[in-house]
Amino acid sequence: MKKLLLLILCLAFLPLFAAQAEGAAFLCDVHPEVKAFFTQSKFNDLTITNYIVAQGTKSGDYAFAIGRKKNQTLLYGFEKKDDSFRYWLLSGTALPQQKGDFSLWIEDEWTYYSSSEGHSRYVKGPVLMIEWHDEKDETQMLLVYANEGTSGQWRLKYVNQTSTLRDTPVFSVLVYEDHLHYLTQNGRSLGKAEGYVQTNMRYLNLSALPSSLQAAQEKLSSAPVIPWGSELVGQEISFEGGQKFPVYSGPGTNYVRAAEGKATVSTNDWIQVFGTENGYALIQYAISADHMRFGYIDEKYLPKGHTVSALTLENAAATMVNPCALTDDPLYSRQAVRQMAGGEKVVWLAQLGNDVYIETKGENPQRGFVHADDVAKHIQDFQQTATLETDWYKITAILTLQGGETRVDMLLEYAEGETHLPNGYAALCNQKVSSWNDIPGAESPFLHSFSMLIPDVDENTRIIALCPLYDGQYQFDEALQFILP
Protein backbone atom coordinates (compact mmCIF):
# COMPACT_ATOMS: atom_id res chain seq x y z
CA MET A 1 0.00 0.00 0.00
CA LYS A 2 2.87 2.42 0.88
CA LYS A 3 4.59 1.70 -2.43
CA LEU A 4 1.35 2.38 -4.29
CA LEU A 5 0.88 5.70 -2.46
CA LEU A 6 4.48 6.74 -3.23
CA LEU A 7 3.95 5.89 -6.91
CA ILE A 8 0.76 7.99 -7.00
CA LEU A 9 2.56 10.97 -5.39
CA CYS A 10 5.42 10.74 -7.90
CA LEU A 11 2.97 10.65 -10.80
CA ALA A 12 1.14 13.63 -9.36
CA PHE A 13 4.28 15.78 -9.20
CA LEU A 14 5.71 14.60 -12.53
CA PRO A 15 3.96 17.40 -14.54
CA LEU A 16 5.51 19.99 -12.20
CA PHE A 17 8.98 18.62 -12.79
CA ALA A 18 8.34 18.50 -16.52
CA ALA A 19 7.07 22.08 -16.54
CA GLN A 20 10.14 23.29 -14.68
CA ALA A 21 12.43 21.71 -17.28
CA GLU A 22 10.67 23.52 -20.14
CA GLY A 23 12.30 26.88 -19.37
CA ALA A 24 10.38 30.16 -19.55
CA ALA A 25 6.73 30.62 -18.68
CA PHE A 26 4.50 32.31 -21.26
CA LEU A 27 1.62 34.74 -20.71
CA CYS A 28 1.16 35.25 -24.46
CA ASP A 29 1.33 33.29 -27.71
CA VAL A 30 4.64 33.18 -29.59
CA HIS A 31 5.92 31.46 -32.71
CA PRO A 32 6.98 27.82 -32.18
CA GLU A 33 10.64 28.52 -32.98
CA VAL A 34 10.69 31.38 -30.48
CA LYS A 35 9.12 29.18 -27.83
CA ALA A 36 11.73 26.52 -28.59
CA PHE A 37 14.47 29.10 -28.00
CA PHE A 38 13.18 29.76 -24.49
CA THR A 39 12.88 26.04 -23.69
CA GLN A 40 16.18 25.94 -21.85
CA SER A 41 16.84 25.56 -18.14
CA LYS A 42 18.54 28.98 -17.97
CA PHE A 43 15.12 30.55 -18.68
CA ASN A 44 13.36 28.76 -15.81
CA ASP A 45 12.86 31.99 -13.84
CA LEU A 46 11.85 34.04 -16.91
CA THR A 47 8.25 34.93 -17.77
CA ILE A 48 7.44 36.14 -21.30
CA THR A 49 4.72 38.75 -20.88
CA ASN A 50 4.48 40.37 -24.33
CA TYR A 51 5.18 39.39 -27.94
CA ILE A 52 4.80 41.26 -31.24
CA VAL A 53 5.89 40.78 -34.87
CA ALA A 54 7.00 43.62 -37.16
CA GLN A 55 6.70 42.69 -40.82
CA GLY A 56 7.93 44.38 -43.94
CA THR A 57 10.89 46.47 -42.78
CA LYS A 58 13.64 47.18 -45.32
CA SER A 59 15.81 44.57 -43.60
CA GLY A 60 13.09 41.94 -43.16
CA ASP A 61 10.72 40.73 -40.46
CA TYR A 62 11.38 40.94 -36.73
CA ALA A 63 9.74 39.67 -33.55
CA PHE A 64 10.08 41.15 -30.06
CA ALA A 65 9.41 39.55 -26.69
CA ILE A 66 9.41 41.18 -23.26
CA GLY A 67 10.44 38.98 -20.36
CA ARG A 68 10.44 39.54 -16.61
CA LYS A 69 13.21 37.90 -14.58
CA LYS A 70 13.22 38.68 -10.86
CA ASN A 71 13.63 42.48 -10.76
CA GLN A 72 14.83 42.86 -14.35
CA THR A 73 12.88 43.52 -17.53
CA LEU A 74 14.50 42.10 -20.68
CA LEU A 75 13.82 42.79 -24.34
CA TYR A 76 14.50 39.91 -26.74
CA GLY A 77 14.65 40.36 -30.50
CA PHE A 78 14.33 37.76 -33.24
CA GLU A 79 15.12 38.17 -36.94
CA LYS A 80 13.45 36.10 -39.62
CA LYS A 81 15.90 33.98 -41.59
CA ASP A 82 14.87 31.19 -43.98
CA ASP A 83 11.20 31.46 -42.90
CA SER A 84 12.08 31.06 -39.23
CA PHE A 85 12.65 33.57 -36.43
CA ARG A 86 16.16 33.33 -34.95
CA TYR A 87 17.59 34.96 -31.85
CA TRP A 88 19.08 38.34 -32.70
CA LEU A 89 19.09 40.69 -29.70
CA LEU A 90 19.00 40.86 -25.91
CA SER A 91 18.82 44.15 -24.03
CA GLY A 92 18.36 44.79 -20.34
CA THR A 93 18.59 48.56 -20.75
CA ALA A 94 16.25 49.50 -23.63
CA LEU A 95 13.10 49.36 -21.46
CA PRO A 96 11.97 50.81 -18.11
CA GLN A 97 13.15 48.55 -15.30
CA GLN A 98 10.51 49.35 -12.69
CA LYS A 99 7.72 46.85 -12.09
CA GLY A 100 4.64 47.42 -14.20
CA ASP A 101 2.79 46.35 -17.30
CA PHE A 102 3.73 46.68 -20.98
CA SER A 103 1.72 46.95 -24.18
CA LEU A 104 3.24 46.39 -27.64
CA TRP A 105 1.80 47.25 -31.03
CA ILE A 106 3.01 48.05 -34.54
CA GLU A 107 2.15 51.18 -36.53
CA ASP A 108 2.60 51.57 -40.29
CA GLU A 109 4.05 55.04 -39.67
CA TRP A 110 4.42 57.53 -36.84
CA THR A 111 4.18 61.32 -36.91
CA TYR A 112 4.74 63.83 -34.14
CA TYR A 113 3.13 67.16 -34.95
CA SER A 114 2.78 70.29 -32.84
CA SER A 115 -0.13 72.39 -34.02
CA SER A 116 0.95 75.27 -31.77
CA GLU A 117 4.45 75.62 -33.22
CA GLY A 118 4.30 73.73 -36.49
CA HIS A 119 7.30 71.43 -35.96
CA SER A 120 6.84 67.74 -36.76
CA ARG A 121 8.67 64.47 -37.21
CA TYR A 122 7.64 61.71 -39.55
CA VAL A 123 8.91 58.15 -39.16
CA LYS A 124 8.14 55.58 -41.82
CA GLY A 125 7.10 52.22 -40.43
CA PRO A 126 6.78 49.58 -39.38
CA VAL A 127 7.17 51.34 -36.03
CA LEU A 128 7.42 49.47 -32.71
CA MET A 129 5.31 51.20 -30.06
CA ILE A 130 5.98 50.28 -26.42
CA GLU A 131 3.78 51.58 -23.65
CA TRP A 132 4.50 51.01 -19.96
CA HIS A 133 2.86 52.02 -16.70
CA ASP A 134 3.80 51.23 -13.12
CA GLU A 135 1.81 48.97 -10.83
CA LYS A 136 -0.31 51.84 -9.44
CA ASP A 137 -0.70 53.52 -12.83
CA GLU A 138 0.95 56.66 -11.44
CA THR A 139 3.74 56.84 -14.07
CA GLN A 140 3.42 56.08 -17.79
CA MET A 141 6.00 55.97 -20.57
CA LEU A 142 5.68 55.71 -24.34
CA LEU A 143 8.65 54.57 -26.45
CA VAL A 144 8.82 54.69 -30.25
CA TYR A 145 11.40 52.50 -32.02
CA ALA A 146 11.79 52.24 -35.80
CA ASN A 147 13.94 50.40 -38.33
CA GLU A 148 14.41 52.87 -41.17
CA GLY A 149 17.40 51.33 -42.94
CA THR A 150 18.63 48.03 -44.31
CA SER A 151 21.18 47.33 -41.54
CA GLY A 152 18.66 45.86 -39.09
CA GLN A 153 19.25 48.58 -36.48
CA TRP A 154 16.16 49.56 -34.54
CA ARG A 155 16.56 53.08 -33.16
CA LEU A 156 14.75 55.10 -30.53
CA LYS A 157 12.76 58.00 -32.01
CA TYR A 158 10.65 59.38 -29.18
CA VAL A 159 10.12 59.12 -25.41
CA ASN A 160 7.23 60.55 -23.43
CA GLN A 161 6.90 60.14 -19.67
CA THR A 162 4.00 61.40 -17.56
CA SER A 163 3.49 60.99 -13.83
CA THR A 164 1.37 62.15 -10.92
CA LEU A 165 4.31 61.64 -8.54
CA ARG A 166 6.11 64.78 -7.43
CA ASP A 167 9.62 63.29 -7.58
CA THR A 168 9.22 61.64 -11.00
CA PRO A 169 10.17 63.81 -13.98
CA VAL A 170 7.66 64.52 -16.72
CA PHE A 171 9.24 64.96 -20.15
CA SER A 172 8.69 64.58 -23.86
CA VAL A 173 11.69 64.30 -26.19
CA LEU A 174 12.27 63.66 -29.88
CA VAL A 175 15.42 61.56 -30.14
CA TYR A 176 17.99 62.03 -32.91
CA GLU A 177 21.51 60.64 -33.24
CA ASP A 178 23.07 64.11 -32.95
CA HIS A 179 20.64 65.95 -30.65
CA LEU A 180 17.63 65.78 -28.35
CA HIS A 181 14.60 68.05 -28.87
CA TYR A 182 12.64 68.61 -25.64
CA LEU A 183 8.96 69.51 -25.66
CA THR A 184 6.18 70.27 -23.23
CA GLN A 185 3.27 67.86 -22.97
CA ASN A 186 1.24 70.09 -25.27
CA GLY A 187 3.99 70.16 -27.91
CA ARG A 188 5.68 73.49 -27.22
CA SER A 189 9.40 73.40 -27.94
CA LEU A 190 11.67 73.84 -24.92
CA GLY A 191 14.87 73.70 -26.97
CA LYS A 192 17.52 71.33 -28.29
CA ALA A 193 20.66 69.82 -26.80
CA GLU A 194 23.34 69.09 -29.39
CA GLY A 195 25.67 66.11 -29.13
CA TYR A 196 26.05 62.38 -29.62
CA VAL A 197 23.03 60.29 -28.63
CA GLN A 198 23.04 56.48 -28.53
CA THR A 199 19.77 55.48 -30.20
CA ASN A 200 20.55 51.89 -31.23
CA MET A 201 18.26 49.50 -29.36
CA ARG A 202 21.13 47.04 -28.95
CA TYR A 203 23.33 49.50 -27.05
CA LEU A 204 20.85 52.06 -25.68
CA ASN A 205 20.58 52.62 -21.92
CA LEU A 206 17.18 54.23 -21.43
CA SER A 207 17.89 55.22 -17.83
CA ALA A 208 20.83 57.36 -19.01
CA LEU A 209 18.63 59.51 -21.25
CA PRO A 210 18.52 63.02 -19.69
CA SER A 211 15.03 63.85 -18.46
CA SER A 212 15.38 67.61 -18.97
CA LEU A 213 16.85 70.04 -21.46
CA GLN A 214 19.28 71.45 -18.88
CA ALA A 215 20.58 67.99 -17.95
CA ALA A 216 21.06 67.15 -21.64
CA GLN A 217 22.94 70.38 -22.33
CA GLU A 218 25.29 69.64 -19.44
CA LYS A 219 25.88 66.06 -20.54
CA LEU A 220 25.81 65.76 -24.33
CA SER A 221 28.94 66.19 -26.40
CA SER A 222 30.28 65.04 -29.74
CA ALA A 223 33.49 63.20 -30.44
CA PRO A 224 36.06 65.81 -31.57
CA VAL A 225 37.62 65.65 -35.00
CA ILE A 226 41.13 64.19 -34.85
CA PRO A 227 43.57 66.74 -36.35
CA TRP A 228 44.72 65.95 -39.87
CA GLY A 229 48.09 64.18 -40.06
CA SER A 230 47.95 62.88 -36.48
CA GLU A 231 49.74 59.66 -35.63
CA LEU A 232 46.85 58.64 -33.37
CA VAL A 233 43.72 57.74 -35.36
CA GLY A 234 40.54 56.62 -33.62
CA GLN A 235 37.30 54.91 -34.57
CA GLU A 236 33.97 55.26 -32.79
CA ILE A 237 32.77 51.93 -31.42
CA SER A 238 29.37 51.27 -29.86
CA PHE A 239 29.39 49.53 -26.48
CA GLU A 240 26.34 48.04 -24.78
CA GLY A 241 24.88 50.75 -22.57
CA GLY A 242 24.83 50.76 -18.79
CA GLN A 243 28.44 49.64 -18.24
CA LYS A 244 31.36 51.36 -16.52
CA PHE A 245 35.06 50.48 -16.83
CA PRO A 246 38.11 51.75 -14.89
CA VAL A 247 40.43 54.01 -16.90
CA TYR A 248 44.19 54.34 -16.47
CA SER A 249 46.51 56.88 -18.08
CA GLY A 250 48.60 54.08 -19.58
CA PRO A 251 48.35 50.38 -20.50
CA GLY A 252 48.40 48.88 -17.02
CA THR A 253 47.20 49.29 -13.45
CA ASN A 254 50.62 50.64 -12.42
CA TYR A 255 49.92 53.83 -14.40
CA VAL A 256 48.40 56.87 -12.73
CA ARG A 257 44.60 56.80 -12.68
CA ALA A 258 43.08 60.26 -13.06
CA ALA A 259 40.23 61.79 -11.04
CA GLU A 260 42.04 60.97 -7.78
CA GLY A 261 42.22 57.31 -8.74
CA LYS A 262 38.57 57.07 -9.78
CA ALA A 263 38.64 57.71 -13.56
CA THR A 264 35.86 55.66 -15.15
CA VAL A 265 34.27 55.53 -18.60
CA SER A 266 30.52 55.06 -19.06
CA THR A 267 29.30 53.24 -22.15
CA ASN A 268 26.22 55.48 -22.35
CA ASP A 269 28.12 58.04 -24.43
CA TRP A 270 30.47 58.02 -27.42
CA ILE A 271 33.82 56.22 -27.15
CA GLN A 272 36.70 56.44 -29.62
CA VAL A 273 39.19 53.56 -29.73
CA PHE A 274 42.71 54.17 -31.08
CA GLY A 275 44.39 50.78 -30.70
CA THR A 276 45.66 48.20 -28.24
CA GLU A 277 48.89 47.84 -26.28
CA ASN A 278 49.88 45.21 -23.71
CA GLY A 279 46.31 44.01 -23.28
CA TYR A 280 44.80 47.50 -22.95
CA ALA A 281 42.96 49.74 -25.42
CA LEU A 282 43.60 53.49 -25.79
CA ILE A 283 40.28 55.35 -25.83
CA GLN A 284 38.91 58.89 -25.75
CA TYR A 285 35.56 59.51 -24.09
CA ALA A 286 33.33 62.28 -22.78
CA ILE A 287 33.21 63.18 -19.10
CA SER A 288 30.79 66.06 -19.64
CA ALA A 289 29.76 68.42 -22.42
CA ASP A 290 33.02 70.37 -22.07
CA HIS A 291 35.51 67.80 -20.75
CA MET A 292 36.94 64.68 -22.40
CA ARG A 293 39.73 62.26 -21.55
CA PHE A 294 42.28 59.95 -23.19
CA GLY A 295 43.01 56.78 -21.22
CA TYR A 296 43.23 53.00 -21.30
CA ILE A 297 40.75 50.24 -20.53
CA ASP A 298 41.34 46.51 -20.38
CA GLU A 299 40.84 45.21 -23.93
CA LYS A 300 38.54 42.46 -22.61
CA TYR A 301 35.86 45.17 -22.41
CA LEU A 302 35.92 45.80 -26.17
CA PRO A 303 32.71 44.64 -27.89
CA LYS A 304 32.97 41.40 -29.80
CA GLY A 305 33.02 41.64 -33.56
CA HIS A 306 35.13 44.81 -33.75
CA THR A 307 38.67 44.72 -35.14
CA VAL A 308 41.07 47.00 -33.27
CA SER A 309 44.68 47.25 -34.45
CA ALA A 310 47.73 47.44 -32.23
CA LEU A 311 49.00 50.92 -31.41
CA THR A 312 52.12 52.08 -33.24
CA LEU A 313 54.09 54.29 -30.86
CA GLU A 314 57.56 55.77 -31.26
CA ASN A 315 58.85 55.26 -27.69
CA ALA A 316 61.70 57.74 -28.27
CA ALA A 317 63.69 59.52 -25.57
CA ALA A 318 62.76 63.19 -25.13
CA THR A 319 63.28 66.13 -22.79
CA MET A 320 60.88 68.82 -21.65
CA VAL A 321 62.13 72.12 -23.07
CA ASN A 322 59.80 74.31 -20.98
CA PRO A 323 57.81 73.85 -17.79
CA CYS A 324 54.17 73.24 -18.79
CA ALA A 325 50.96 71.41 -17.97
CA LEU A 326 50.32 67.79 -18.91
CA THR A 327 46.72 67.16 -20.03
CA ASP A 328 44.62 64.11 -20.88
CA ASP A 329 42.15 66.31 -22.80
CA PRO A 330 44.20 67.90 -25.61
CA LEU A 331 41.27 68.52 -27.99
CA TYR A 332 38.87 70.36 -25.69
CA SER A 333 39.35 71.61 -22.13
CA ARG A 334 43.14 71.07 -21.85
CA GLN A 335 42.61 70.61 -18.12
CA ALA A 336 45.93 69.93 -16.39
CA VAL A 337 46.56 66.60 -14.69
CA ARG A 338 50.19 67.31 -13.78
CA GLN A 339 52.86 70.00 -14.04
CA MET A 340 55.96 69.13 -16.05
CA ALA A 341 59.36 70.61 -15.22
CA GLY A 342 61.79 71.98 -17.76
CA GLY A 343 64.60 69.48 -18.38
CA GLU A 344 62.47 66.52 -17.24
CA LYS A 345 63.19 63.33 -19.17
CA VAL A 346 60.14 61.70 -20.80
CA VAL A 347 59.20 59.20 -23.50
CA TRP A 348 57.90 60.56 -26.80
CA LEU A 349 55.03 58.34 -27.98
CA ALA A 350 53.17 60.04 -30.86
CA GLN A 351 51.95 63.34 -32.27
CA LEU A 352 48.34 64.52 -32.22
CA GLY A 353 48.00 67.72 -34.20
CA ASN A 354 50.14 70.34 -32.43
CA ASP A 355 50.50 68.16 -29.32
CA VAL A 356 52.85 65.34 -28.40
CA TYR A 357 51.72 62.25 -26.50
CA ILE A 358 54.33 61.52 -23.82
CA GLU A 359 54.97 59.25 -20.85
CA THR A 360 56.63 60.34 -17.63
CA LYS A 361 59.32 58.36 -15.85
CA GLY A 362 58.98 56.62 -12.49
CA GLU A 363 57.40 53.70 -10.68
CA ASN A 364 53.91 55.01 -11.49
CA PRO A 365 54.27 56.64 -14.90
CA GLN A 366 51.61 58.86 -16.42
CA ARG A 367 50.68 59.46 -20.04
CA GLY A 368 49.30 62.68 -21.44
CA PHE A 369 49.77 65.49 -23.92
CA VAL A 370 51.96 68.60 -24.04
CA HIS A 371 52.36 71.23 -26.75
CA ALA A 372 54.99 70.31 -29.33
CA ASP A 373 57.00 73.47 -28.53
CA ASP A 374 57.47 72.29 -24.93
CA VAL A 375 59.22 68.98 -25.64
CA ALA A 376 62.17 67.92 -27.79
CA LYS A 377 62.74 64.41 -29.03
CA HIS A 378 66.26 63.02 -28.88
CA ILE A 379 67.50 61.70 -32.16
CA GLN A 380 68.94 58.21 -32.12
CA ASP A 381 72.45 57.66 -30.80
CA PHE A 382 74.82 58.31 -33.66
CA GLN A 383 78.51 58.88 -34.37
CA GLN A 384 80.22 60.21 -37.49
CA THR A 385 83.77 61.28 -38.39
CA ALA A 386 84.68 64.04 -40.84
CA THR A 387 88.15 65.07 -42.02
CA LEU A 388 89.38 68.07 -44.01
CA GLU A 389 92.98 68.56 -45.19
CA THR A 390 94.12 71.91 -46.56
CA ASP A 391 97.50 73.26 -47.66
CA TRP A 392 98.02 74.54 -44.11
CA TYR A 393 96.45 72.07 -41.69
CA LYS A 394 94.42 68.90 -41.20
CA ILE A 395 91.27 68.89 -39.06
CA THR A 396 89.52 65.69 -37.83
CA ALA A 397 86.16 65.90 -36.04
CA ILE A 398 84.11 63.16 -34.37
CA LEU A 399 80.41 64.01 -33.88
CA THR A 400 78.66 61.96 -31.18
CA LEU A 401 74.95 62.00 -30.40
CA GLN A 402 74.21 60.04 -27.25
CA GLY A 403 71.50 60.25 -24.60
CA GLY A 404 70.13 63.48 -26.03
CA GLU A 405 73.50 65.26 -25.93
CA THR A 406 75.47 66.30 -29.04
CA ARG A 407 79.23 66.63 -28.71
CA VAL A 408 82.03 67.16 -31.21
CA ASP A 409 85.68 66.29 -30.49
CA MET A 410 88.23 67.92 -32.80
CA LEU A 411 91.91 67.44 -33.54
CA LEU A 412 93.88 70.11 -35.46
CA GLU A 413 97.26 69.13 -36.93
CA TYR A 414 99.63 71.49 -38.83
CA ALA A 415 103.18 71.80 -40.05
CA GLU A 416 105.99 73.48 -38.14
CA GLY A 417 106.00 77.23 -38.59
CA GLU A 418 102.52 77.34 -40.13
CA THR A 419 100.67 80.60 -39.35
CA HIS A 420 97.54 80.24 -41.52
CA LEU A 421 95.48 78.61 -38.78
CA PRO A 422 91.88 79.17 -37.54
CA ASN A 423 91.60 80.59 -34.04
CA GLY A 424 88.13 79.14 -33.39
CA TYR A 425 85.26 77.09 -34.72
CA ALA A 426 81.52 77.75 -34.88
CA ALA A 427 78.81 75.09 -35.08
CA LEU A 428 75.96 75.96 -37.46
CA CYS A 429 72.80 74.01 -36.76
CA ASN A 430 69.22 74.59 -38.02
CA GLN A 431 70.30 77.71 -39.94
CA LYS A 432 71.80 79.47 -36.93
CA VAL A 433 75.03 79.58 -34.94
CA SER A 434 74.47 77.06 -32.19
CA SER A 435 77.82 77.40 -30.39
CA TRP A 436 81.41 78.41 -30.94
CA ASN A 437 84.70 77.68 -29.33
CA ASP A 438 88.19 79.22 -29.39
CA ILE A 439 91.02 76.88 -30.19
CA PRO A 440 93.10 76.48 -27.03
CA GLY A 441 96.87 76.47 -26.88
CA ALA A 442 98.80 73.56 -28.30
CA GLU A 443 98.92 70.45 -26.11
CA SER A 444 102.07 69.40 -27.95
CA PRO A 445 104.01 70.91 -30.85
CA PHE A 446 101.84 71.26 -33.98
CA LEU A 447 98.73 69.67 -32.33
CA HIS A 448 95.54 71.11 -30.85
CA SER A 449 92.60 69.07 -29.49
CA PHE A 450 89.33 70.52 -28.20
CA SER A 451 85.63 69.72 -27.76
CA MET A 452 82.34 71.56 -27.91
CA LEU A 453 78.67 70.84 -27.13
CA ILE A 454 75.99 71.64 -29.67
CA PRO A 455 72.70 72.29 -27.81
CA ASP A 456 70.18 72.86 -30.61
CA VAL A 457 70.14 69.46 -32.29
CA ASP A 458 66.64 67.94 -32.59
CA GLU A 459 64.72 65.53 -34.80
CA ASN A 460 64.48 68.15 -37.54
CA THR A 461 68.25 68.67 -37.78
CA ARG A 462 69.72 67.26 -40.95
CA ILE A 463 73.08 69.08 -41.34
CA ILE A 464 75.62 70.30 -38.80
CA ALA A 465 78.46 72.44 -40.15
CA LEU A 466 81.70 73.24 -38.31
CA CYS A 467 83.07 76.45 -39.74
CA PRO A 468 86.56 77.80 -38.93
CA LEU A 469 86.93 81.38 -37.70
CA TYR A 470 89.80 83.65 -38.68
CA ASP A 471 89.79 86.71 -36.45
CA GLY A 472 86.03 86.38 -36.09
CA GLN A 473 85.36 85.86 -39.80
CA TYR A 474 83.74 82.66 -41.13
CA GLN A 475 85.70 80.67 -43.68
CA PHE A 476 82.94 78.57 -45.24
CA ASP A 477 85.10 76.86 -47.86
CA GLU A 478 87.03 75.18 -45.01
CA ALA A 479 83.92 73.97 -43.16
CA LEU A 480 83.24 70.38 -42.12
CA GLN A 481 79.78 68.97 -42.70
CA PHE A 482 77.91 66.17 -40.95
CA ILE A 483 74.82 64.67 -42.58
CA LEU A 484 72.48 63.29 -39.94
CA PRO A 485 70.28 60.23 -40.60
Which pLDDT score, from 0 to 100, does residue 459 have? Answer: 72
Asked whether residue 35 is assigned to any structural domain, the reply reads: yes
The reply to whether 69 and 213 lie within a common domain is yes
Q: Per DSSP, what are the bridge partners of residue 463?
A: 483
SS3 258: helix
What residues contact 22, with CB distance under 8 A and at least 6 apart?
39
Contact 279, 287 (CB under 8 A): no
Which pLDDT score, from 0 to 100, does residue 10 have? Answer: 43
The reply to whether 356 and 460 lie within a common domain is no
Which pLDDT score, from 0 to 100, does residue 19 have? Answer: 44
pLDDT in tens, 234-285: 999 989 888 999 999 999 999 999 999 999 999 999 999 999 999 999 999 9
Quick one: which of 119, 66, 117 has its CA closest to 96? 66
Sequence length of the chain is 485
Contact 290, 221 (CB under 8 A): yes
Which pLDDT score, from 0 to 100, does residue 360 have? Answer: 98
423: left (phi over 0), alpha (psi -120 to 50) or beta: alpha
* E strand map for 178-234: 179-183, 189-194
pLDDT in tens, 316-356: 889 999 999 999 999 999 999 999 999 999 999 999 999 99
Q: Which amino acid is at 183?
A: L
The reply to whether 478 and 411 lie within a common domain is yes
Provide the 8-state DSSP code for 217: H
Asked whether residue 409 is assigned to any structural domain, the reply reads: yes
Which pLDDT score, from 0 to 100, does residue 382 have? Answer: 80
The reply to whether 138 and 257 lie within a common domain is no
Q: Per DSSP, what are the bridge partners of residue 435?
A: 427
Ranges of residues in the chain with a pLDDT under 50 are 1-20
What DSSP string runs through 141-193? EEEEEE--SSS---EEEEEEEEES-TTS--EEEEE-SSEEEEE-TTS-EEEEE
The reply to whether 183 and 136 lie within a common domain is yes
Which pLDDT score, from 0 to 100, does residue 18 have? Answer: 42
Quick one: which of 110, 133, 132 has its CA closest to 122? 110
Residue 345: domain span: 316-377
User: What is the signed CA dihedral for 272, 273, 274, 275, rounded to 10 degrees?
Assistant: 180
How many beta carbons lie within 10 A of that of residue 340, not counting itself?
A: 20
The reply to whether 110 and 191 lie within a common domain is yes
Contact 372, 351 (CB under 8 A): yes
Pairing state of beta strands 235-236 and 271-277? antiparallel
Which pLDDT score, from 0 to 100, does residue 457 have? Answer: 80
The reply to whether 103 and 165 lie within a common domain is yes
SS3 for 409-437 is EEEEEECCCCCCCCCEEEEEECCEEEEEE
Which pLDDT score, from 0 to 100, does residue 16 have? Answer: 43
Number of domains in the chain: 4
